[in-house]
Structure 1
Amino acid sequence: MSTDDDWGREYAHLAASDLRRPRDLERFAAAAYLTGHDTDATAALVRAHRIARRDGDRPAAARAAFWLGLHLVLRGRPAQGGGWLTRAGRVLDEDDVDCVERGYLLIPAGLAAIANGGIADARDRFESAIRIAEHHADQDLLTLARLGLGQAAVRGREYAAGRRLLDEAMVAVTADEVSAVVAGIVYCAVIDACYELYDIDRAQEWTAALSEWCEGKPSLVPYRGQCLVHRAEILRRSGSWGDAMELARQAEERLGGQPALGAACYELAELHRLRGDRAAAETYYRRAGTWIGEPQPGLALLRMAQGRIDAAAAAMRRLLPSVADDTARCRLLAPYAEIMLAAGDLSAARSAVDELGRIARTLGSRWLAVTVHHQRGLVLLAEGATDAALGELRTAWLGWRDLGTPYEAARARLHAGLVCTAVGDEDAASAEFDAAHQALAALGAIPDAEHARRLGQQARARGTLTGRETQVLRLVAAGRTNRAIAVELHLSEKTIDRHVSNIFVKLGVSSRAAATARAYERNLVQYPTETGG
């Protein structure tokens, strides 16, 4: 662990020194890596490995090979990194020496086991690493092993245990008990795990801690780009879209050819989509796809915004069955449900929301729980269960408000307005639409704000029938034909035709039967009462 936060000064000092010992070269490699001098870091570790091999110091040779392999993997060169990690293991196999380096080599082996679905194998390797770390009193290894155990628990669906282990790993970081390289690795891994679990509160807390840590180390380079992506996502969720865009652009510049560039491009694509710049969103989704595979569900939501409902639905129907892991599926299920509703597949939407509800309960995620209320409200609205739909959407609005997510809160109000429209309460509908429009416009969500504005105008128009239109509607509800109404009111039949057409537009109906139902809802006419003797 270093007590010197100025890694730039450390790098310059060591670069000017005649370094001959593996430990000194490793120190220089760490300073070079942390300040963005990757080529120097690689060269120093290669040299440290060769010197240690020459001198017969197998633990030092393995240690240099391990860190070299890890740096290469983190820089997006898994083949080269894997080769050096294999060499590190081979060096130690040449002698049965008891050394802490054996524990370090268990870390990539455990991560590989997780990737291959071998959770029990991964757990065994990380627990062995913990024993070695405790025996040698090596805090870096101990922290990496606990991080690995937490990741294995999450992938093994032991979510509560996973959170505890991840938090424990972070304690060592925030207490400044580990080296800067290990601290950066743990920060990024824990934050990624929080997002994977949709534990947005934890993600925000640890991202703020990572940002503070980075700011305290002015020369630090590797984790600043990833940190900016996480901060950008949090700012987007909290409604500061301009700041989020700026940070995501900075991350794009800093990450260069690193794998995390895909996350930066995806975040930029999301921001452009929400703000209505569909061409830019398309470009960034494509760029993200070169690093992260299919840029979903964002690209499908873009297709829906473009009116290409069939394309959006086809993409999601193809993708969802191929994703087995719950934590990966929960990213897709809410957009899938919304797209299925737009495509008219109510059964698929209902099934997706039910599954998301199950996952939300398992993960214990507040964010997902509120998402379920919102999506269930939309499904109930499509099913015609307006009272239940309004209750779910009101709950969702309160939840989004408490979570500090104004975009989602505004959409919940917009959807509540649709429920009010469905039951003929145009005053309440226009109030919901106006509130949604105001919030969405403030965010810069131009397409959604315009949609809310139009819906508000239509609701007000439907709620303001003229006196003559009200008179005509009463006669329509009484079963009169347009010709009969014209005779009774001493007007031309053409004029009555125009009044009836305007009434249909204002009420949002397309038939005389529907207009009659609205007349009863507004108490413009009375339901007939039965009399008998």
Structure 2
Amino acid sequence: MAVTGLEQARAAYARGDWVTAFTGWSTVEPTTLSSQELDDLATAAGLLGRHVECVAALQHAFTRAQGAGDLPHAVRRAFRLAMTTATHGQQALSAGWAARAEELVAGLDDDAVERGWVALLRMFAALGAGAVPEAAACADRAAAAGRLHHDQDLLAMATCARGRIAMYTGRVPLGLALLDEAMVRVVAEETSPVFAGHVYCTAIEGCQEVGDVARMAEWTAALEQWCARQPGLLAFTGQCAVHRGQLMRLRGDWSGALEELALAARRYEQEHSPDAIGLAAYEAGEVRRLRGEHAAAEAAYERAADHGHEPQPGLALLWVSLGRTAAARSAVERLLDETSGPVQRARLLPSAVEVLLACDEQPTADELVDELDALAADFGCAGLLAAAAAAHGATELARGDPAGALPYLRKARSAWAGLGCSYEVARVRVRLAQALDSMGDQATARAELEAARRTFAELGAAPALREVDRLLGPGVLPAGLTAREVEVLRLVAAGQSNARIASSLVLSEKTVARHLSNIFAKLDVSSRTAAAAFAFEHELVQESPTRT
């Protein structure tokens, strides 16, 4: 290749045109490239999703550095090889390259910056083994080395890692502040492309895990702009699409979310990142579940599991909607036993409360809500605070204390509205309506239901829409009966047993019995026959009852 061709490749690399740079460098023998060109070729190949070529270039660069006795560069290339092979699921190769880095760094001075890069490898190994204090110490050493040597890539990576570790140990405000610090370095373009991409994705994922929707949206927009500036970029675009899909689901654009998640899966496949495909599949399952596409949702959760991603608690919520409450309860109980970290617990608890309330496990749900309240207060993230308030309102309502539920539900409605999460706002409005209806304010309750119905119809949330239509159907109800109590009373009037009623309404028999007790008290009757007579007298049913 002519010298001018190599110069063109270098110029293309400098302006972020990875395709032209990769094409120029990959058409010549690696032995004709300088060490820096080999490094840059590896970077361009990695960003284009050309994993094999990326590894080959790094191996050539490593061999050259080792042969020349250039230990610092050999360690750095071993680090990159350990990282890129781990990202693509080649754990044995990654461990081997990490070992080579450890071996070589022993020959360097104690204050060499390369010891900071090796500390990062030790940090990842410690996290994998669950040794969080050791991982934190390694991240601190890496950050100190980066700061001492003004290595912006190392400092940004270590700062981001320190942020995530702080979050996992319950210090969420500190963790988010560290993520912001790392992100500022990236946005200011102080870091090289590969490490910028890692920081973007790691920081956004951290925000998503703790329900910091505003930060997640801000950094996702920045990541999207960063990706758009780089022609041909494949690496990190799958993760960007996942985060866009997650935000679209929260903001009510479910069709757009499914498109983004399908795009993410395709890009992960092109990148040969099978583990990440599971995340995209799980997120698609969440959208399908909310739309009432049960078979498609189950298939998506199954695909997530096939790629190593836990399909719960989304699958348990799907089972609840299908009436498989025993299976849902068992899955959630298993998750609660397995999950210990504060961030992981915070992600699980809102869904766990919903499942347990559907299974009539009120005492356990109450305990989980108390835990969720405490975590939300410690984290201070708006999304988690909204979820905690909604869960608290739901448990108060299930306990039969509508007045106690109202403050929590109103707080949740306001918080979700502030975040632009229309589906969550509508869900809370349904519970508000149930609380208001139980307190006799049926006009306001109906207004809340009608507002929720409009949102569900716009979103295509078929299961939620059907539930609201059932609640709206009777209009103004007699004797202070709630809409759910009228549903139970109609089935009593039809001669159905408690077991049949529970099956029809996807409730537990214990819940049906509680509804019957409330109905008898409100109607001042003591038998099913008298309750059925009231139903016919007030035209709550039209057909003659049939005994079963």
TM-score normalized by structure 2? 0.83
> Which residue of 1 is the match for residue 18 of structure 2?
7
Alignment of 1:347-366 (within 5 A): 347-366=363-382
> 2:216 aligned to 196, 203, 212, which one?
203
1:525 is matched with: none
How do 1:169-318 residues align onto structure 2 when only pairs under 5 Å count? 169-256=182-269, 257-258=272-273, 259-318=275-334
- Equivalent residue, structure 1, for 2:471: 455
Q: Could you give the per-residue CA deviations for residues 105-150 of structure 1, whole angstroms, max 9, x where no partner exists?
A: 1112123223434444333323332333234332111211212222
Match of 1:519 in 2: none
d(CA) in 2 for partners of 1:74 and 1:151? 18
Cα separation, 2, equivalents of 1:156 and 1:55: 43
Alignment match of 1:343 (pick from 349, 359, 374)? 359
Task: Give 5+ residue unaligned stretches, structure 2.
Answer: 1-9, 482-521
**Which of 133, 137, 141 is the equivalent residue of 1:124?**
137
Mapping of residues 381-460 of structure 1, within 5 Å: 381-460=397-476
The separation in 1 between residues aligned to 2:539 and 2:353, in whole angstroms, is 31
Partner of 1:143: 156
- Contact conserved, 2:250 with 2:421, CA < 8 A, in 1? yes
Note the alpha carbon deviations across 1:145-194, whole angstroms, 9 max, x for none: 21222222222222222122111111110000110000000001111111
Aligned to 2:536: 501
Q: Distance in 1 between matches of 2:86 and 2:361?
A: 43
Please report how far the alpha carbon of residue 77 of structure 1 lies from its aligned counterpart in structure 2 after TM superposition: 1.8
**Residues 64 and 265 from structure 1, CA distance in 2 versus in 1: closer, same or farther, beyond 3 angstroms?**
same
Contact 2:479 2:523 in 1 (8 A): no
Does the CA contact (< 8 Å) of 1:225 and 1:252 recur in 2? yes
1:497: how far off? Answer: 8.1
Alpha carbons of structure 1 residues 92 and 275: separation in structure 2 relative to 1, 3 Å: same
Secondary structure of 2:540 counterpart = helix
The alpha-carbon distance between structure 1 residues 125 and 395, as it changes in their structure 2 partners (threshold 3 A), is closer
Distance 1:110 1:445 in 2: 43
- SS of residue paired to 1:12: helix
Aligned equivalents of 1:97, 1:500: Cα separation in 2: 84
The 3-state SS of whatever aligns with 2:356 is helix
Aligned residues: 485
| Structure 1 CA distance for aligned equivalents of residues 462 and 69 of structure 2 | 67
Distance 1:480 1:219 in 2: 74
Structure 1 window deviating more from structure 2 (129-138 vs 55-64): it is: 129-138
RMSD: 2.8
* Distance in 1 separating the partners of 2:434 and 2:524: 29
Which has the higher mean CA deviation after the structures are superposed, 303-312 or 369-378? 369-378
Aligned to 2:116: 103
Secondary structure of 2:230's match?
coil
Task: Give the aligned residue type for 1:383.
Answer: R
Query: Is residue 427–residue 463 contact of structure 1 (8 Å, CA) maintained in 2?
Result: no
Q: 1:18 deviation in Å?
A: 4.0
* Whole-angstrom distance in 2 between the partners of 1:202 and 1:33: 28
Helix, strand or coil for the counterpart of 1:303? helix
Compute the displacement of 1:501 (Å): 1.9
Q: Shift of the alpha carbon at 1:51?
A: 1.9
Task: Specify whether residues 428 and 181 from structure 1 end up closer, same or farther in structure 2 by C-alpha distance, changes over 3 A only.
Answer: same
Q: Map of 1:468-487 to 2, 5 A cutoff?
A: none
- CA–CA distance in 1 between the matches of 2:535 and 2:65? 92
Q: Relative to 1, partners in 2 of residues 1:145 and 1:232: Cα closer, same or farther, differing over 3 Å?
A: same
Q: How far does residue 78 in structure 1 lie from its aligned partner after superposition? A: 2.0
Asked whether 1:378 is paired with 2:394, we answer yes
Separation in 2, partners of 1:373, 1:326: 18
Number of the residue aligned with 1:31: 44
Q: Does the CA-based 8 Å contact 2:168-2:342 persist in structure 1?
A: no
Q: Give the counterpart letter for 1:378 in structure 2.
A: A
Letter in 1 for 2:447: A
Q: Distance in 2 between matches of 1:170 and 1:188?
A: 10
Match of 2:57 in 1: 44
Aligned pair in 2 of structure 1 residues 12, 480: CA closer, same or farther (>3 Å)? Answer: closer
Q: Distance in 2 between matches of 1:240 and 1:175?
A: 31
Q: Distance in 1 between matches of 2:233 and 2:152?
A: 21
Higher relative contact order by CA 8 Å / sep ≥ 6: 1 or 2?
Answer: 2
Contact 2:213/2:419 (CA < 8 Å) preserved in 1?
no
| Corresponding residue number in structure 2 for 1:152 | 165
Give the secondary structure class of the aligned counterpart of 1:56. coil
TM-score, L = length of structure 1: 0.85
Query: SS where residue 458 of structure 1 aligns?
Result: coil
CA drift of 1:260 comes to 1.5
CA contact (8 A) 1:431 1:456 kept: no
The Cα of 1:286 is off from its aligned counterpart by 0.9
The answer to whether the 8 Å contact 1:427/1:459 transfers is no
Provide the C-alpha distance between the structure 1 equivalents of 2:116 and 2:416, rounded to a whole number of angstroms: 45
Judged with a 3 Å threshold, the aligned counterparts in structure 2 of structure 1 residues 424 and 44 are, in CA distance, closer, same or farther, namely same
Residue 429 of structure 1 contacts residue 456 of structure 1 at CA under 8 Å; is this kept in 2?
no
Higher alpha-carbon Rg: 1
State whether residues 239 and 406 of structure 1, in contact with CA within 8 Å, keep that contact through their aligned partners in structure 2. yes
Higher alpha-carbon deviation: 289-298 or 404-413: 289-298
Query: What is the letter of the counterpart of residue 182 of structure 2?
Result: A
Task: State the shift of 1:505 in Å.
Answer: 3.0
1:359-382 Cα offsets, whole Å, 9 max, x none, are 001111211211122111111112
CA distance in 2: counterparts of 1:385 and 1:293, whole angstroms:
38
CA distance in 1, matches of 2:287, 2:525: 54
Change (3 A) 1:503 1:65: same
Quick one: distance in 2 between partners of 1:324 and 1:480? 49
SS at match of 1:198: coil
- Partner Cα separation in structure 2 for residue 63 and residue 360 of structure 1: 40
Gap regions ≥5 residues in structure 1? 466-476, 482-493, 511-533
Q: Contact 1:430–1:457 at 8 Å: present in 2 too?
A: no
